[in-house]
Amino acid sequence: MQWFDVGVNVPSDVTTLPSMLERAANANVAKIMLTGTDISISQQASALAKAHPGQVFSTAGIHPHYAQHAAIDYRQQIKALAEQPQVLAIGECGLDFNRDFSPRDIQLAVFEAQLVIACETGLPVFLHERDAFDAQYKLLHQYRKQLSGALVHCFTGNTEQMQAYLELGCYIGITGWVTDEKRGGDLREAVKHLPIERLILETDAPYLKPKKLGSDKITGVKQNEPCYLPAIAKALTALMNTPLTALADASLRNSHDLLAIG
């Protein structure tokens, strides 16, 4: 079984990346994609991906938390990054009405601008959404026919919201949140209805470390890492009534299809 972790945050200490990649490879996680959350991080992610060709890829975009700090020329900077072959998606972009770190009108404007960039470049969007489903759905619906694809990164919503995203043609990103029986109740119910051809697994490392790792726990790894991606899949086997090998194959195939990797 081979795995592709499409949702990994840039390490605060980038010198730890080689050892992280080694642990990932030992767990058969052959590829990862680093998430761009602002222009600086997107540039850093792109540079790291360029330094590890075929193993590390990246996204380019502005997270809703940082929308109000976007430079005047952020569109041009994202477009420039999107021209680089290791950059496979636009984002992390979307709406976050949970924390409202940026005013909502600015979030909406910066999100829509990135949807336009995705349509222009042909790259899929890597989506963030927290407590903003209605507004996000409305914008996505407006652009869905022009988008090459979309991943709802770290989906934590309910079955109804998931079905609506699926109707827009989105892939659903599942993280260690699904292992949290207290906070992840809605998600644990939703994945029972998730078509395997729309499943993409991701860790959101270093956040959302899977619960109850047991024998899957790796000595010395305190935070979440790509090496724990198979543990997320193991938690899904019962919820989705699907063998581990089938989940691995589907997630890898779906990731390749979304990101246009041959």
pLDDT tens track for 121-165: 999 999 999 999 999 999 999 999 999 999 999 999 999 999 999
Q: Is 245 exposed, middle or buried (0-12, 13-18, 19+ CB in 10 A)?
A: exposed
Which pLDDT score is estimated for 179?
96
Which pLDDT score is estimated for 216?
86
Which pLDDT score is estimated for 214?
86
Which pLDDT score is estimated for 185?
94
Low-confidence ranges of the chain (pLDDT < 50): none
User: pTM of the prediction?
Assistant: 0.97
Residue 227: CB partners within 8 Å, gap ≥ 6?
Answer: 20, 23, 24, 26, 27, 29, 218, 221
Q: Which of 235, 229, 250, 216 is nearest to 6 (CA)?
A: 229
Residue 206: CB partners within 8 Å, gap ≥ 6?
Answer: 9, 11, 223, 224, 225
Which pLDDT score is estimated for 125?
99
Which pLDDT score is estimated for 215?
84
Domain-by-domain residue ranges, the chain? Answer: 3-259
Q: What is the CA radius of gyration of the chain?
A: 17
Give CA–CA dist 177/205, Å, rounded: 12
| Domain 3-259 classification at class level | alpha beta
